[in-house]
Structure 1
């Protein structure tokens, strides 16, 4: 019996489960095998669409537009023919040159309600559209079946996220990207998602002053701009924290009640074409991580070591720290030896000190020798060279993308401030012209009255 025949003998439920691990475009192709497969693919409880699977290698604009048009038509057809009564996962990724398709919008306001009718467990949407506004309907925040939701809508303008109602009783994981999040929205999210355990905010404009809850286990905030004096974070149940401390900020985070924190990853990231700045609250960022047992420190940019120096200015004692890892990307980790030495001396039970240099200017052999000297007098600690980063920022590409997203936010904020200043200046100019005109009119009226009185005097 041939291999194809053995597969055909499998039960439909098993076939749909197998197809659920493949992109929807591949699953649909199986309808060419036989009439039976037409029913099988349409019953798969997973829909997975990626524009990259439709993108032609031809760079001609007309053909690119055709690819995007075919992508939209394909999704429309699948949603029309899909027969599964209930969906497990829906994933949509469209981030390949979408900015070229100004005339081809993604009708999320039509697709998402159709998806939510099938009560999905996971909703994941990542759309990059620099020239087209992409709206997420409010229904996405009232689907009671959702356990995981990822919404990253990169449409250049960082739209304000403001759902009319948030009611997601079973949501455990929420990831938001490229939105402006204000205080009301954050409060509604925390209150409307009582079982939320993981929150990720990526390249967002944060316009609120606090995050306070009792059930979070994981918090990730990277590439965000803090549009407030400071953000106070109070999460007693938090076990994992990932934070990117960016140059150019004038405010930062203040962490309180972090007694359950076990692992933390802090990235000090500087962008050369942005003004370098480091807030007072960020200076104490490591002081808020006293209870961690595992700490990753990532340095990216020419002045990242200066940020680390500020953070270790008042170095606390890490009484529970057992493992520390330093990563340097395009930096100079050798210039941090004094700071690392101070750090090690403030970690009395530290066992593992590892490091990773990626395109670093440091000499790895000399650096390893210096680090061994640092830990030589430290009884429990051993230095181990790590050739690969093991934290989230394990690749240079991710850090470059993160710095690019941060630069985009600064451009947007700067453009808004410039536009507001221009409007203010124009208003002042208009008011000044109006006042001058009123004074001129008033002066003419006074002169006319005086001339009229003089004429009356002459006649008398």
Structure 2
């Protein structure tokens, strides 16, 4: 029987190169075994995509608790470095359009000769890349991303997640990225002057993401920004976000943070996602700015609310105490992790009640212990009592990588916040702040375990039965409480 012709090999080199550009570098390199022609194609691929997980051998590496540190042999790390060095050497004089590196569990100490990631970045920048994506976590020694990464005129998409032993303060000498549209920074300490440099030096920036960073500034304002994500970050000052062009916003509110966000001038905002994050080992704390977060989202048409930890429902309740009215909301997605979804029916009821145009309500639950029929009955009652929207269960939640990864991120952020507080805030100032809180400056409503006081201008309040309800053990509304809600 005659063997069939190899139609793929008959394609032009440019087409084959395009095909291999959509594969990982390991997969593309394996094509060399097909023929000499494929070897020539491989070395002309303008995309290099390396993930350490594609090269390690499970029997050589013991992953300890939290999947953070690796014991055992370093040969796999050394081989990984040689593979990338060889790939770069094979592309002498060629342009590289995209370079992506994911290096988890990086435990080899490169202090003597400098970290290879810094050397690779310098080599890639000479080849005028359009996309540069670096993820190294954790790094035993300093990577020290070169300043040239912030002055490369060709870059359109820049991601730098470098988790060093100590958070590196981002201090580029200059920022000149006229073509940059996407900027993603992780595990850095970012000061106010650095943020100003980034926003001024990236005039066409459309998407900004800050992940697990320490933020030492009080304002973000950028005329062209369309998307903003601030997740798992620590900040000692209230951050004011005022971006008229912003269309998508994602923020995380953590119980250990003494301050939160104030949203202003969000006239173009269409979709928002708010994470309320708590854990048993965290001290519960509700800030005044957190009580304003939902009031800054009243104009959105799509809203995702994600609760993580048993006290997260109380944080949401705190944020709803000012009675925000979502006049344009058409789609609401609700998630709960760490407790039963039925435990936060009251909060969900309030969101639906104050959204007169709501059309779609979707929900996701993780390890929900509530009764299936009872939960659906409660959710259906929420929908039918306050509107005519559709109810559907989502098959995918907004888990960030994994719940374990999220827990680790919360622990790390909490420790950083506590260390910063101990170093910078004298005990006398802490006492003064507590006194100010007790005096309820500005007439804002304060959190109370027994009942909530009436707000300014006679605003309606979330009534509770005296002595029967506390912050962590919410019960069902009774008919009298429902009547107290009214319509805003």
> Which TM-score band (shorter chain)?
0.7 to 0.9
Structure 2 residue 413 is the aligned partner of structure 1 residue 409: yes
> Using a 3 Å threshold, how does the CA distance of structure 1 residues 410 and 152 change in structure 2: closer, same or farther?
same
For residues 22 and 4 of structure 2, what CA distance do their matches in structure 1 show?
Answer: 20
Number of paired residues?
415
Contact 2:139 / 2:162 at 8 angstroms: preserved in 1? no
Contact 1:290 / 1:317 at 8 angstroms: preserved in 2? yes
> Using a 3 Å threshold, how does the CA distance of structure 1 residues 142 and 65 change in structure 2: closer, same or farther?
same
* Alignment of structure 1 residues 419-434 onto 2, 5 Å: none
What residue ranges of structure 2 are gaps of 5+ in the alignment?
Answer: 63-70, 427-488
Match of 1:170 in 2: 179
Match of 2:299 in 1: 291
For residues 421 and 282 of structure 1, what CA distance do their matches in structure 2 show?
Answer: 21
Match of 1:306 in 2: 314
Once the two structures are overlaid, the 10-residue window that deviates more, 309-318 or 413-422, is: 413-422
Structure 2 residue 143 is the aligned partner of structure 1 residue 134: yes
For residues 356 and 63 of structure 1, what CA distance do their matches in structure 2 show?
Answer: 40
For residues 219 and 16 of structure 1, what CA distance do their matches in structure 2 show?
Answer: 34
For residues 417 and 318 of structure 1, what CA distance do their matches in structure 2 show?
Answer: 36
Q: How far 1:256 moved relative to its partner?
A: 0.5
For residues 196 and 320 of structure 1, what CA distance do their matches in structure 2 show?
Answer: 27
Q: How far 1:4 moved relative to its partner?
A: 6.9
Match of 2:11 in 1: 10
Contact 2:261 / 2:293 at 8 angstroms: preserved in 1? yes
> Using a 3 Å threshold, how does the CA distance of structure 1 residues 129 and 325 change in structure 2: closer, same or farther?
closer
Match of 2:455 in 1: none
For residues 106 and 23 of structure 1, what CA distance do their matches in structure 2 show?
Answer: 23
For residues 368 and 286 of structure 1, what CA distance do their matches in structure 2 show?
Answer: 26
Contact 2:207 / 2:228 at 8 angstroms: preserved in 1? yes
Give the match's secondary structure for 1:22: coil
* Alignment of structure 1 residues 51-450 onto 2, 5 Å: 51-59=52-60, 64-83=73-92, 85-95=94-104, 97-99=105-107, 101-103=108-110, 106-228=115-237, 230-382=238-390, 384-389=391-396, 393=398, 395=399, 398-415=402-419
Q: How far 1:98 moved relative to its partner?
A: 1.8
Contact 2:257 / 2:417 at 8 angstroms: preserved in 1? no
Q: How far 1:185 moved relative to its partner?
A: 0.6
Q: How far 1:6 moved relative to its partner?
A: 2.6
> Using a 3 Å threshold, how does the CA distance of structure 1 residues 89 and 60 change in structure 2: closer, same or farther?
closer
Contact 1:56 / 1:64 at 8 angstroms: preserved in 2? no
Contact 1:330 / 1:361 at 8 angstroms: preserved in 2? no
Contact 2:129 / 2:154 at 8 angstroms: preserved in 1? yes
Contact 2:256 / 2:417 at 8 angstroms: preserved in 1? no
> Using a 3 Å threshold, how does the CA distance of structure 1 residues 90 and 160 change in structure 2: closer, same or farther?
same
For residues 93 and 3 of structure 1, what CA distance do their matches in structure 2 show?
Answer: 39
> Using a 3 Å threshold, how does the CA distance of structure 1 residues 343 and 25 change in structure 2: closer, same or farther?
closer
Once the two structures are overlaid, the 10-residue window that deviates more, 37-46 or 292-301, is: 37-46
Q: How far 1:70 moved relative to its partner?
A: 0.5
Q: Report Cα offsets for 1:121-155 as digits up to 9, x if no partner.
A: 11001001342221110111111111111110012
Give the match's secondary structure for 1:343: helix
Q: How far 1:67 moved relative to its partner?
A: 0.7
Contact 1:171 / 1:193 at 8 angstroms: preserved in 2? yes
> Using a 3 Å threshold, how does the CA distance of structure 1 residues 119 and 343 change in structure 2: closer, same or farther?
same
Q: Report Cα offsets for 1:156-200 as digits up to 9, x if no partner.
A: 321101110100001111111000011011000000000000010
What residue ranges of structure 1 are gaps of 5+ in the alignment?
Answer: 423-460
> Using a 3 Å threshold, how does the CA distance of structure 1 residues 13 and 341 change in structure 2: closer, same or farther?
same
Match of 2:458 in 1: none
For residues 50 and 399 of structure 1, what CA distance do their matches in structure 2 show?
Answer: 22
For residues 234 and 50 of structure 2, what CA distance do their matches in structure 1 show?
Answer: 30
Q: Report Cα offsets for 1:260-309 as digits up to 9, x if no partner.
A: 11111111110211211121101111000010011111111010111111
Q: Report Cα offsets for 1:385-412 as digits up to 9, x if no partner.
A: 314235xx1x375343233123213324
For residues 192 and 141 of structure 1, what CA distance do their matches in structure 2 show?
Answer: 9
For residues 419 and 15 of structure 1, what CA distance do their matches in structure 2 show?
Answer: 57
> Using a 3 Å threshold, how does the CA distance of structure 1 residues 5 and 346 change in structure 2: closer, same or farther?
closer
Q: How far 1:84 moved relative to its partner?
A: 6.4
Contact 1:270 / 1:304 at 8 angstroms: preserved in 2? yes
Give the match's secondary structure for 1:58: helix
Q: How far 1:3 moved relative to its partner?
A: 5.8
Normalised TM-score (structure 1): 0.85
Would you tell me which structure has more helix in proportion to its own residues?
1
Q: Report Cα offsets for 1:35-92 as digits up to 9, x if no partner.
A: 3333211110101111112211223689731110010011111111115632221001
> Using a 3 Å threshold, how does the CA distance of structure 1 residues 371 and 5 change in structure 2: closer, same or farther?
closer
For residues 381 and 191 of structure 1, what CA distance do their matches in structure 2 show?
Answer: 43
> Using a 3 Å threshold, how does the CA distance of structure 1 residues 2 and 245 change in structure 2: closer, same or farther?
farther
